[in-house]
Amino acid sequence: MSAPIKMVLDLDTGIDDALALAYVLGCPDVELVAVVCSYGNVTVGTATRNTLALLRMLGHPEVPVYRGVDRALGAKGEFRPPAGVVRIHGENGLGGQELSGWCYAAPRSGVDYLAQTLDEADEGLRYVPTGPLTNLALALRATSVDARALPRVTFMGGALTVPGNVTPCAEANIHNDPEAADAVLRSGLPTRMVGLDVTHRVVLTRAETARWRALGTPAGRFFADMTDHYIGVYEKSNPHMGGCALHDPLAVAASIDPSLVGCHAANLRVDLDGATRGRTVCDPDRLRVAEKDCEVALGVDVPRFLEVFLAHVERALT
């Protein structure tokens, strides 16, 4: 038996982040080493609380959780999710499904933890951010290691060939901190971008959540109700999709098994000004550089991903 893949997640724990967490915990090939939390779908405090409670619900209270930064680079006040985001993920980020009990995060800062993890990382480490890239941008500033030598980071965010989901150009995770995303994408760090180009193609329906409810476990009921809230939002905003997009689970899946996505190699940057602020684009200054540091996912094996997703999540909820 080969050694498990060591993974660190960086979540702004809303609904699809929770699904990504369940995917990882249900995957027999992965050891979840820690979770760093971010603002985005909710405040960083709520993301931290949600993560701790979900880990306990899913039988893994031993996984350490670190509280990351509470705002974008250069932002003046703590990030508060706008009304549109509250509508999508619910007031508590989990579709209004109540979590009981008090939980405490490890006292250490998420950025310190991440910087040390990058300093010590061997090539097997998988770090997967599925929220804004602020924690990573700050950790890259703090680490002494050359970003080009670090293991590839698979992140959920961006849109190269399709419109954004916050503005016509910007996807939510990049929109929340374009400066951080630009710093990461131009640092030389090897990355794999799992953006709306592919995540809008992997869709979950109420037929699958009914299966989770039928498991008869508290976690099965919680995840079914939480995800039905998310599907309900999509039924209104994107009725043509027939369900909800599995953004964050696809990113963790592609990190574990890159053969699930087909990629185009590119050097990217993020537009920081004007109407296109937050757009991920090919960096004009590096078009002729032969080495490309980002693998942009433009294709996805939908049936294979959904099969693995359902198997892993069902295992985690049982």
**Residues within the interface to ligand RIB (CB under 6 A):** 12, 14, 16-17, 40-41, 130-131, 156, 165, 171-173, 247-248
* Neighbouring-strand partners of residue 4: none
Q: Please identify, using beta-carbon distances, which residue of 26 and 131 lies nearer to Ca ion.
A: 131
Q: Please identify, using beta-carbon distances, which residue of 12 and 177 lies nearer to Ca ion.
A: 12
Q: Please identify, using beta-carbon distances, which residue of 20 and 317 lies nearer to ligand RIB.
A: 20
**Least CB distance to ligand RIB at residue 38 (A):** 9
Q: Please identify, using beta-carbon distances, which residue of 51 and 173 lies nearer to ligand RIB.
A: 173
Which one from 200, 247, 264, 312 is the annotated catalytic residue?
247
Binding site for Ca ion (CB under 5 A): 12, 17, 130-131, 248
Contact partner, 81, from ligand RIB, Ca ion, none, Cβ < 5-8 Å per class: none
Contact partner, 126, from ligand RIB, Ca ion, none, Cβ < 5-8 Å per class: none
* Number of residues assigned to the chain: 318
Question: Sheet of 126-129: strands edge to edge?
Answer: 106-109, 65-67, 30-37, 5-11, 126-129
**Dihedral Cα 132, 138, 191, 164, nearest 10 deg:** 20
Number of Cβ within 10 Å of residue 133's Cβ equals 32
Contact partner, 172, from ligand RIB, Ca ion, none, Cβ < 5-8 Å per class: ligand RIB
* Contact (Cβ atoms closer than 8 angstroms) between residue 283 and residue 182: no
Q: Please identify, using beta-carbon distances, which residue of 41 and 46 lies nearer to ligand RIB.
A: 41
**Least CB distance to Ca ion at residue 249 (A):** 10
Rg (CA), the chain: 18
* Catalytic residue check, 264: no
Q: How many CA atoms lie within 13 A of 116 on its CB side?
A: 8
Tokens 């999709």, located at residue: 241
**Least CB distance to Ca ion at residue 129 (A):** 9
Residue nearest to ligand RIB (CB): 172
**Least CB distance to ligand RIB at residue 246 (A):** 10
Q: Using CA atoms, how far apart are residues 160 and 130, in angstroms rounded to an integer? A: 17
**Least CB distance to Ca ion at residue 127 (A):** 15
* Contact (Cβ atoms closer than 8 angstroms) between residue 304 and residue 207: no
Tokens 């038996």, located at residue: 1
Q: How many CA atoms lie within 13 A of 5 on its CB side?
A: 19
**Least CB distance to Ca ion at residue 216 (A):** 29
CA distances from 103 to 15, 51, 100, 230, 259 (A): 19, 9, 9, 25, 37
Q: Using CA atoms, how far apart are residues 122 and 24, in angstroms rounded to an integer? A: 20
**Smallest Cα–Cα separation from 165: which of 73, 19, 278, 301?**
278
Q: Please identify, using beta-carbon distances, which residue of 19 and 143 lies nearer to ligand RIB.
A: 19
Contact partner, 171, from Ca ion, ligand RIB, none, Cβ < 5-8 Å per class: ligand RIB
Catalytic residues: 247
